């Protein structure tokens, strides 16, 4: 039977969102009630003495704030196959592996139908607002998405990254169709066993359907930049495949080859056209609109640890709008980008009050004692740590993200993502976050513009093997650059950490001179390969911005590839 696909009713979706956010406080109460009613019989909640109460006050009084570590024993029993209701009323049958690049190893979180539904809800909501500003026709999307392997846990549950669990769900495809956003690549490419091969085929499909492509997307925008950097390397091979209608022998998986064979026909005109366009570009500036004449925008998460890739993305995208995708995690979704006109640096996310119950720990006060506040009690201008209570078995779960409230959409707050909560760089009284590191790298890389050199990626490490300890910043750069410039970059990095603890420690040499280590080209690709080898998906990959000593393998990759190192003389 051919399924009739209805397009989404954008006006209705927006209307629903508006009325729900106007009533955010009540919707939150109702949502908590629903979560607790559906899962009240779960062992975890039974032990906390709620006795059927579902109001926020009782909930907060009985249920403790937890981290992933606290829930680990419960989740482990689920993973091992216990079928009793442990965290949720209905048994969990699927597990998500969060990308885990922040902690050095993937962690398990429950995934269920409710989480799938909230994922689609957030996709639909931001689509409605996006499409009102930037209408798309019924074409295709070049979606740079990849699915990692789904495996079975010891207890027989399906396990994969959250994006894998979403992409493999049949509802994902239907929703993409209803959003006129079908991926131009066949499933065999998305679910291909090797992401290098999938990436090549995504690019090839993009070329084949170039006139129909309406937008380019990925979960995290790193994948888009990564794809077009790869395009710079393989464009001639892509053109050759299109010319002859024969796929390069580099693609070895039979399922991928036969799916691609159905699409690939000899097309010398197209090959000539792409060849000519590529030769006509200056340092690949404007590559995307040249390749895809009908693209309306680029879409993917561009905030937080993705911000450093914006410069390169703009270079490829020329004047195409860059729209940041929504805010969420493997644990659950939080907010939608309903202001697609805003540049990614200013993007905010409006919390959907019915996809979970949200609390926020104020960070202004003494952190350990600060009491979490409810969704409608947050204050504009203040920073908070996000706490999630989800439909998938997480109760008062500290997500570890820091957000800032920038305003309200009706009664629901608009959040700006600030950084991960974990302090990354700290030796004694200094405290520097991922954001501080990003700002320091930005400042130092600006010194390079005259040299036409580019920081391709970066990370950091606290080296306590020296006395005193010192910060190490790893850079992968492109282009030849003079020693003096890198020495100045190193000093600039050191000076750019302006937190009082750092500056005063540096002055008295309680922290040693910052060290800039330049690594070989391809080092960050090796790190990516390492994580993918561990089961992470390229779709969810985030470069670890700080590598601790416990993450020995990644630290070794970085240290083994150092070509030059500089010590700051700034203090
Ligand atoms: P994962 O563990 O792969 O599910 O990644 C979830 C984490 O990615 C979140 O906790 C955030 O730290 C980050 N993240 C997700 N969405 C966004 C966003 N829109 N902006 C910035 N960071 C995000």
Query: Rounded to whole angstroms, how far apart are CA atoms 407 and 289?
Result: 34
Around 228, how many Cα atoms within 13 Å sit in the side-chain half-sphere? 29
Ligand 1 atom closest to Cα of residue 349: 19
463 SS3 class:
strand
**Which pLDDT value is given to residue 423?**
64
Cβ–Cβ under 8 Å, residues 390 and 44: no
How remote is the CA of residue 99 from the centroid of ligand 1, in Å?
Answer: 9
3-state helix, strand, coil in the chain (%, to 5): 40, 20, 40
Residue 104, Ramachandran bin (φ over 0: left; ψ between -120 and 50: alpha; else beta): left
Instruction: Select from 101, 123, 167, 329 the residue to mutate for testing ligand 1; criterion: most ligand atoms less than 8 Å from CB.
Output: 329
Count of other CB atoms within 10 angstroms of residue 184: 23
Task: Provide mean pLDDT across the span 156-169.
Answer: 85
Residues whose CB falls within 8 Å of the CB of residue 560, separated by 6 or more in sequence, listed in order: none
Residues at CB less than 6 angstroms from ligand 1: 98-99, 162, 301, 303-304, 327-330, 399, 401, 417, 420, 540
Split at pLDDT 50, 70, 90, the class of 89 is: very high
Task: Provide mean pLDDT across the span 445-457.
Answer: 78
Could you give the angle at which helices 254-261 and 195-208 cross, rounded to 10 degrees?
0
Query: Rounded to whole angstroms, how far apart are CA atoms 72 and 554?
Result: 24
**Which pLDDT value is given to residue 101?**
41
Strand boundaries in 112-227, DSSP class E: 140-143, 151-152, 158-161, 213-220
On the question of pLDDT at 72 being above 60, the answer is: yes
Handedness of CA 290, 229, 419, 514 (dihedral sign): negative
Task: Provide mean pLDDT across the span 327-334.
Answer: 93
Sorted by where each begins, the domain ranges of the chain are 10-113+327-420, 135-151+161-320, 434-567
- Structure token pair of residue 508: 């008295």
On the question of pLDDT at 103 being above 60, the answer is: no
How remote is the CA of residue 219 from the centroid of ligand 1, in Å?
Answer: 10
Ligand 1 atom closest to Cα of residue 325: 19
Residues whose CB falls within 8 Å of the CB of residue 25, separated by 6 or more in sequence, listed in order: 374, 375, 376, 411
552 SS3 class:
helix
Cβ–Cβ under 8 Å, residues 59 and 107: no
**Which pLDDT value is given to residue 7?**
85
Buried/exposed 189-217: b ≥16 CB within 10 Å, e otherwise: bbbbeebbbbbbbbbbbbbbbbebbbbbb
Instruction: Select from 326, 347, 385, 401 the residue to mutate for testing ligand 1; criterion: most ligand atoms less than 8 Å from CB.
Output: 401
How remote is the CA of residue 175 from the centroid of ligand 1, in Å?
Answer: 22
Q: Each residue of 467-484: pLDDT tens digit?
A: 889 999 999 998 788 899
**Which pLDDT value is given to residue 337?**
98
**Which pLDDT value is given to residue 554?**
94
| Residue nearest to ligand 1 atom 8, measured at CA | 329
Name which of 143, 251, 142, 257 is nearest 197 in CA terms. 251
Instruction: Select from 119, 328, 355, 392 the residue to mutate for testing ligand 1; criterion: most ligand atoms less than 8 Å from CB.
Output: 328
How remote is the CA of residue 28 from the centroid of ligand 1, in Å?
Answer: 22
Ligand 1 atom closest to Cα of residue 302: 20
On the question of pLDDT at 190 being above 80, the answer is: yes
Cβ–Cβ under 8 Å, residues 567 and 126: no
**Which pLDDT value is given to residue 173?**
86
Q: 36-39: long-range contacts at Cβ-Cβ below 8 A with a sequence spacing of 24 or more?
A: 38/88, 38/89, 38/90, 38/391, 39/85, 39/87, 39/88, 39/89, 39/393
Handedness of CA 236, 237, 242, 243 (dihedral sign): positive
Mean pLDDT score of the chain? 91
Q: Each residue of 271-293: pLDDT tens digit?
A: 999 999 999 999 999 999 999 99
Cβ–Cβ under 8 Å, residues 523 and 204: no
Cβ–Cβ under 8 Å, residues 155 and 79: yes
- Percent of the chain at pLDDT above 90? 69
| Residue nearest to ligand 1 atom 6, measured at CA | 329
Cβ–Cβ under 8 Å, residues 426 and 462: yes
CATH superfamily of 10-113+327-420: ANL, N-terminal domain (3.40.50.12780)
> Which carries the bigger pLDDT value, residue 567 or residue 534?
567
How remote is the CA of residue 398 from the centroid of ligand 1, in Å?
Answer: 13
């Amino acid at each position: 039977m051919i399924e009739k696909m209805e397009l989404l009713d954008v006006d209705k979706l927006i209307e629903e969102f508006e009325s729900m956010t106007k009533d955010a406080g009540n919707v939150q109460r109702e949502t908590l009630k629903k979560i607790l009613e559906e899962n009240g019989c779960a062992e975890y909640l039974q032990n906390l003495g709620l006795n059927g109460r579902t109001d926020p006050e009782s909930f907060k009084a009985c249920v403790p704030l937890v981290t992933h570590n606290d829930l680990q024993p419960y989740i482990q029993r689920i993973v091992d196959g216990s079928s009793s209701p442990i965290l949720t009323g209905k048994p969990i049958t699927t597990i998500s592996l969060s990308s885990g690049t922040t902690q050095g190893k993937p962690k398990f979180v429950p995934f269920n139908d409710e989480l799938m539904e909230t994922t689609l809800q957030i996709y639909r909501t931001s689509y409605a607002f996006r499409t009102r500003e930037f209408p798309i026709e019924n074409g295709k999307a070049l979606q740079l998405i990849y699915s990692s392997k789904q495996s079975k846990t010891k207890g027989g549950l399906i396990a994969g990254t959250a994006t894998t669990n979403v992409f493999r769900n049949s509802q994902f495809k239907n929703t993409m169709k209803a959003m006129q956003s079908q991926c131009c690549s066949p499933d065999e490419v998305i679910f291909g066993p090797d992401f290098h091969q999938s990436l090549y085929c995504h690019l090839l499909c993009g070329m084949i359907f170039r006139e129909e492509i309406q937008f380019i997307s990925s979960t995290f925008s790193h994948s888009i930049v990564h794809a077009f950097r790869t395009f710079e390397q393989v464009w001639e091979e892509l053109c050759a495949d299109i010319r002859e209608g024969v796929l390069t022998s580099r693609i070895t998986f039979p399922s991928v080859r036969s799916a691609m064979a159905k699409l690939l026909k000899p097309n010398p005109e197209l090959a000539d056209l792409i060849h000519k366009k590529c030769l006509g570009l200056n340092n690949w500036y404007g590559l995307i609109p040249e390749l895809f004449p009908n693209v309306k925008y680029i879409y993917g998460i561009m905030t937080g640890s993705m911000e450093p890739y914006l410069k390169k993305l703009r270079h490829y995208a020329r004047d195409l709008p860059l729209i940041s995708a929504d805010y969420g995690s493997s644990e659950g979704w939080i907010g939608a980008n309903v202001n697609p006109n805003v540049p990614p640096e200013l993007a905010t996310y409006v919390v959907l009050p019915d996809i979970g119950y949200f609390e926020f720990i104020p960070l202004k006060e003494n952190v350990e004692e600060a009491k979490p506040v409810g969704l409608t009690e947050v204050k504009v201008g203040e920073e908070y740590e996000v706490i999630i209570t989800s439909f998938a078995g997480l109760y008062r779960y500290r997500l570890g993200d820091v957000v800032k409230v920038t305003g309200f959409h009706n009664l629901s707050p608009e959040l700006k993502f600030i950084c991960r909560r974990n302090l990354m760089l700290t030796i004694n009284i200094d405290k520097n976050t991922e954001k501080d590191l990003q700002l320091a790298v930005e400042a130092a890389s600006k010194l390079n513009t005259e040299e036409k050199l580019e920081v391709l990626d970066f990370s950091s490490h606290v080296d306590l093997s020296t006395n005193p300890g010192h910060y190490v910043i790893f850079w992968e750069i492109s282009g030849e650059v003079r020693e003096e410039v890198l020495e100045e970059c190193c000093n600039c990095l050191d000076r750019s950490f302006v937190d009082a603890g750092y500056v005063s420690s540096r002055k008295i040499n309680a922290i040693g001179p910052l060290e800039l280590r330049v690594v070989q080209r391809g080092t960050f690709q090796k790190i990516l390969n390492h994580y993918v080898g561990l089961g992470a998906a390229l779709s969810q990959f985030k470069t670890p911005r700080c590598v601790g000593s416990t993450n020995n393998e990644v630290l070794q990759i970085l240290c083994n590839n150092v070509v030059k190192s500089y010590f700051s003389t700034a203090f």
